[in-house]
Amino acid sequence: MTDLAVGTADQQTTSEDTGLDQAQLEARLESHRVELTGYCYRMLGSSFEAEDAVQDTFVRAWRAYDRFQGRSSLRSWLYRIATNVCFDALDGRQKRARPMDLGPASSADSALGPELPEERWIQPMPDGRVVPEGGDPADLAVQRDSVRLAFLATLQHLPPKQRAVLILREVLQWRATEVASLLETSVASVNSALQRARATLATKDVDDLAPQPALDDQLQGLLARYLDAFERYDLDAMTALLHEDASWSMPPYELWLQTHADIKAWCLGTGHACRGSKLVPIVANGAPGFAQYKPSGPDGAHEAWALQVLQLGSDGKIAGICFYLDTAHIFPLFGLPLTYAEIQHSREPAATG
């Protein structure tokens, strides 16, 4: 099991963490970026706030390093700093959510409504920024499941301390003694917080928290059929791939849809301009998805319109699709250009002399 995978807090001897010069400390801090970003993302539910929190953690570590005397590993010390940064960020904040968490499904003829501010939403995140490469496949599956949108939304129901305890104990598999040391509290307090967190989550609707199925040939075929149906705008073929009660949501709007009839009516009505879109496969939040480019530019040029994150059911169908429309910020996060022409250009073979 690698240092970036699921595991206990103190995996390195403290002698390796003291007396580092500037270049060595930079390298050691950077080696923890992915796991710390994943931790802060689970705590905050925001991709941009998580990255800011990690940067703040590194700055605080730099400033305090002369007082770090190896009483714990550098890794556990960084987690303590990151936890405090997240607690500060969560102080007095409204919890983030998905549209489905804010109210019942709407009908296709409902008004779209106003855009809600960014801080209301669980944001998407590329897997590569929060899930380490390599390691035990079972551990990595836990990592991916614990950054899914549904899990993040459920964590929002927990107060910050319970949220941290649940993540550290049940996602990262830290021992209760290690969590108690990090939070400067007792083991009994940690166990009590974990029990309360579990009790709170048990009262929530967690039907969509089942483990994400592995992307075998059957599910890869499902994704290929969805891409084909969406690009042809064959709504009968597309909705045939969805659960009957699949969710169709579009942050930053509160409105969301559920029935096949409403989804088709929406796509033919308010969403008719999506006809002719191009999709590019991506991976986000431990799940497959697509970058959608709509023919909205000059002469029908395809421009960034939405980042689609799919939830796959265990029965070989799609259980939900979340369309994130803040492409100006989200597409760069995923390393995606804002026009489809740039993708086409990158796929062209290089000219030979």
Q: Give pLDDT tens digits for 88-104.
A: 999 988 899 999 999 99
Q: Which tens digit of pLDDT belongs to each residue from 279-300? A: 999 999 999 999 999 999 999 9
The pLDDT value recorded for residue 116 is 95
Angle, helices 47-64 vs 22-31, to 10°: value is 150
What is residue 23's predicted lDDT score, i.e. its pLDDT? 83
Kindly indicate whether the domain formed by 14-209 is annotated with CATH number 3.40.1280.10: no
Give 209-254 pLDDT, tens digit per residue.
Answer: 566 777 788 899 999 999 999 999 999 999 999 999 999 999 999 9
pLDDT of residue 92: 86
What's the pLDDT score for residue 60? 94
Question: What per-residue confidence (pLDDT) applies to 4?
Answer: 32
Q: Are strands 278-284 and 287-295 parallel, antiparallel or unpaired?
A: antiparallel
**Cα 200 → chain centroid:** 22
327-333 contact pairs (CB < 8 A, 24+): 328/304, 329/48, 330/47, 330/123, 330/124, 331/291, 331/304, 331/307, 333/47, 333/48, 333/125, 333/126
* Average pLDDT by stretches of 10, the chain with 353 residues: 43 53 85 96 98 97 80 87 97 93 95 94 96 82 91 95 97 95 97 96 68 80 97 98 96 97 97 97 95 96 98 90 97 97 80 52
Provide the pLDDT for residue 137. Answer: 82
Report the interhelical angle of 33-44 vs 74-90 (nearest 10°). 30
pLDDT of residue 217: 87
In the chain, where the domains are located: 14-209, 217-347
Query: Would you state the pLDDT for residue 93?
Result: 87
Model pLDDT, residue 10: 55
Fold of 217-347: Nuclear Transport Factor 2; Chain: A, (3.10.450)
